[in-house]
Amino acid sequence: MKNYRLLRILALITSFGSYVMLLMGAIVSKTGSGKGCGNSWPFCHGQLIPESLPIETVIEYSHRIVSGGVGFLILILTVWSWLAYRTNRRVKVLGFMSLFFVVLQGALGALTVVFEGAFAKKFALALHFGFSLISFASVVLLAICLFQLREGTAARVTQTEPKVSISKRLHYAIWGLAAYTYVVVYTGALVRHAQATMGCGYAFPLCGETYFPNLSSLAGIHMFHRYAAISLWLCVLGFLWVVIRRYKEREDLFKGSWIAFILITLQALSGIITVFTGGQLVAALVHTTIISIFFSALSYLCMQVGLPWKREQEESRPSAGKETPVLS
């Protein structure tokens, strides 16, 4: 199964590359280097190798080069996975999402560069980060899926533990939690691109003496994200409580809910540190890293429980042994 092992290694490399791409995008935004290459794309100032290389140009052009390289890796991983597991729907869907959203975020990034002034730039840049996050999570899930598949079969992931029935409410709760996390991510991206990180100064948990600043102000944008983040922490805590009480037998849900709660708590702490350090770059990158891992963890739980509207008999239908891997 040499080729199979190579595919899994490629999946790991691509996952790490997707994370680096996500992190470099955050560096571009945090350092204000988005215009480091002017209004030209994909080259920098209309040149393959710019004559002048100030730091903002190096940061922006490096981000473009890394994004292009990672996009190429995702293309190879997607095609290879499809060829290896031609009848595995999960592999096909995750591969498509990885490729589709990396192309979409690249196109959106190009639009914000070329058509500045005719585009709602702050909103578009927030979308740019959101699409990058989906692509990253999809690549990570594809890698996990490839590792979970047995080397002797291309069948769907099999549970190593007894099947425990999950209520429809919990199905929808997990998917709703992932969707709400994505919304909260956009509010955080808006804070970054609106330069509202220090909208409330060093004040925490309130914004000075104001509970609800005007949403059109930097303080209002900042507090809107802060309240959304607090509500997300409470939702994850509630989810953990339900799983501990009713679904301890499901090891994937039990461990996953604890990991999610630990990550969202660390995310909250990193947000507080970001405020107290005046929005320092390292703190902001840690904040980005944790939310990316947290969203991927929730996406993994969604993958484990399946679609909430899918009939239970279809979810539990055995499929092992029905497929033979192409690359053996």
Residues 155-177 as b/e (b if ≥16 CB within 10 A, e otherwise) read bbbeeeeeeeebeeebbebbbeb
Which two three-digit tokens encode residue 21? 């791409």
Cα–Cα distance between 174 and 243 in angstroms, integer? 11
Q: How far apart are CA 263 and CA 260, in angstroms?
A: 5
Report the SS3 class of residue 148: helix
| CA 298 from centroid of its chain's CA atoms | 10
Distances (CA, A) of 258 to 16, 135, 270, 289: 24, 24, 18, 18
CA–CA separation, 315 vs 159, rounded Å?
12
CA distance 267 to 295: 11
CB neighbour list of residue 10: distance below 8 Å, 6 or more residues apart: 73, 76, 77, 80
In single-letter form, the type of residue at position 139 comes to: V
Between CA 103 and CA 20 the distance in angstroms is 16
Contact present, 181 and 295 (Cβ < 8 Å): yes
Three-class DSSP category at 47: strand
Examine the residue annotation and report whether 60 is marked as an active-site residue of this protein. yes
The neighbouring-strand residues paired with 44 are 47
Catalytic residue among 60, 249, 251, 315: 60
The catalytic residue positions are 60
